[in-house]
Chains A and B, each alone.
Chain A
Amino acid sequence: MLQSGNSEVINLLYDDYSDALYGVVLRIVNSEEIAKDVIQDVFVKIWKNGSKYDPAKATLFTWMLNIARNTAIDVTRSSYFKKTLKNRELNSNVYNSGNFSWQNNVDQIGLQKLVNGLDEKYRVVVDLIYFKGYTQKEVQEHLDIPIGTVKSRVRIGLRELRKLFANIVMLPIIFSNYF
């Protein structure tokens, strides 16, 4: 009975979360072609690992975001990806939001507002970690700043994000469809 329900669950999840997950994956791999493959793997993983999801630890959305992020980041670390990236000579400056090819998305307006509100130094650290899968040590090396500074920027960056979202009354309608 549930077996047939499973693909139905994936259907529902896809309808409500695919935009966000695809957006994150695209941001990470910076290639529509690769993002399409990655997002397939992501949903298959969601389907396969559904039994491992623990609602006590995270919301479903966060759990899926982490799967999407990890899958996409793993891809960017593969030799295949690095080769492709070199050949394409893609702009690797992922934190320059002005260069994104999906600027027409309505949420970019919100992103722009947020970016304006969040100090660049925090956003860079958060993005390197969240979208590139950097460790704090890697951020330290990449930006050539002390590890303590990285840690404090992580902490302040997230608190700032929280504040900004509390202020910007522009909440996505993502959950409203469900229940």
Chain B
Amino acid sequence: MDIEKIKSSGLLEQYVLGLLSPVEREKIDVLAAQHPALKSELNMLQQAMEEYANLHSVPPPTGLKKKIKDRINILEEESPRSIKVASTKPNNKIFKLFSGVAAAAIVGLLGLCYLLFDQQQSAKNRLAILEEKLNKIESSYTNLQSSKVQVETKFATLKDLGTHHVHLRGSGNAPNSLAVIYWNPDHKKGYLNVVEMPVAPHGHQYQIWADVNGKHLDMGLIDTIKGNSLVTIPFIENSKGFVITLEKEGGSQHPTVEKMYVKGEIEL
């Protein structure tokens, strides 16, 4: 078909006014796609009608926009759909509009990425802090666990019928002093509980001795001098009694008898 003939036929005007049947429209669409001259003629006619429509412009009443948004929001919730551009041919308004939306989406996505990254960083930090806390709790739990075992062992020893309660009472140096030794030959265990004794003077330490057949054997220095804690002391076979003396710091080979503070014998 001759392009000039079509241009003067009135078909394009009818097309623009929506007077053509779908089949006729399709023909024009095809021809316009092939012939730029036809296409630009159509565009100019369309533009004229756009201008004409524009002349009738009336601002819609306020509140209409919100009503439309509400309706679309409801529809969006019901069935999510996206406006797709049928053609990605550049240099037209819809393409630009949607590329704008796409750009906005990308910016939004980048923002989201940053936000997620940021959140991940702070999550990492929080995780590190939590791990540290967990480690502390774990080690303190281990400590508790082992001290629990100790306490249980001590308790078991204390209530054992074979355990002797040896009261070491104060001598002339400190009459009010009292220490108790729990002594179990069956399990070969011994504990010391210092109930009341004076604080060791500076440069001195208390030392505990076992009386084995009249000989005083060294059982070690006592660090914990006061309090109701049970201090484990070495078990010495055939002990008949115990004494605690005040010695110079670091202890002595033999007990200083004048400096004996408490003394007690195992009552068999």
| Minimum C-beta distance from A123 to chain B (A) | 10
In the bound complex, CA of A108 to CA of B33 (Å)? 36
Does any Cβ of A come within 8 Å of B85's Cβ? yes
Residues B76-108 near A (CB distance < 8 A): 76, 80-87, 89, 92-98, 100-101, 104-105, 108
Q: 12 extra interchain contacts, Cβ-Cβ under 8 A, other than A61-B50, A152-B10?
A: A9-B83, A36-B64, A39-B68, A40-B67, A40-B71, A50-B84, A53-B85, A59-B50, A60-B97, A107-B57, A111-B56, A154-B19
Residues B35-50 near A (CB distance < 8 A): 43-50
In the bound complex, CA of A6 to CA of B71 (Å)? 13
Does any Cβ of A come within 8 Å of B13's Cβ? yes
Contact status A105-B57, CB under 8 Å: yes
Q: Kindly identify which residue among B17, B32, B105, B108 contacts A126, using a CB–CB cutoff of 8 Å.
A: B17
In the bound complex, CA of A102 to CA of B48 (Å)? 22
Does any Cβ of B come within 8 Å of A51's Cβ? yes
In the bound complex, CA of A171 to CA of B52 (Å)? 10
Does any Cβ of A come within 8 Å of B58's Cβ? yes
Contacting residues, chain A, for B69 (C-beta < 8 A):
7, 10-11
Q: What 4 A-B pairs come out closest when comparing CB atoms? A: A50-B83, A155-B10, A23-B56, A22-B60
Contact status A161-B19, CB under 8 Å: no
Contact status A154-B50, CB under 8 Å: no
Contacting residues, chain B, for A158 (C-beta < 8 A):
13, 16-17, 45, 48-49
Known contacts A19-B59, A47-B72, A48-B75; is A5 also within 8 Å of B49 by CB? no
A-B contact pairs, 20 of them (CB 8 A): A1-B109, A3-B80, A7-B69, A9-B98, A10-B72, A11-B65, A11-B69, A19-B59, A20-B56, A22-B58, A22-B60, A23-B56, A56-B29, A59-B50, A59-B92, A60-B94, A105-B57, A110-B55, A111-B56, A154-B19
Contact status A22-B59, CB under 8 Å: yes
Does any Cβ of A come within 8 Å of B227's Cβ? no
The bracket for how many chain A residues form the interface is 35 or more
- Chain B: residues with CB nearer than 8 A to chain A? 10, 13-14, 16-19, 29, 32-33, 43-61, 64-65, 67-69, 71-73, 75-76, 80-87, 89, 92-98, 100-101, 104-105, 108-109
Does any Cβ of B come within 8 Å of A85's Cβ? no
Contacting residues, chain B, for A50 (C-beta < 8 A):
82-84
Contact status A107-B17, CB under 8 Å: no
| Interface residues of chain A: helix, strand, loop or mixed (majority) | helix
| Minimum C-beta distance from A30 to chain B (A) | 12
Contacting residues, chain B, for A12 (C-beta < 8 A):
97
| Minimum C-beta distance from A50 to chain B (A) | 3
| Minimum C-beta distance from B97 to chain A (A) | 7
In the bound complex, CA of A127 to CA of B170 (Å)? 125
Q: Kindly identify which residue among B43, B76, B87 contacts A7, using a CB–CB cutoff of 8 Å.
A: B76
Contact status B93-A36, CB under 8 Å: no
Contact status B81-A65, CB under 8 Å: no
Contacting residues, chain A, for B53 (C-beta < 8 A):
20, 23-24, 65
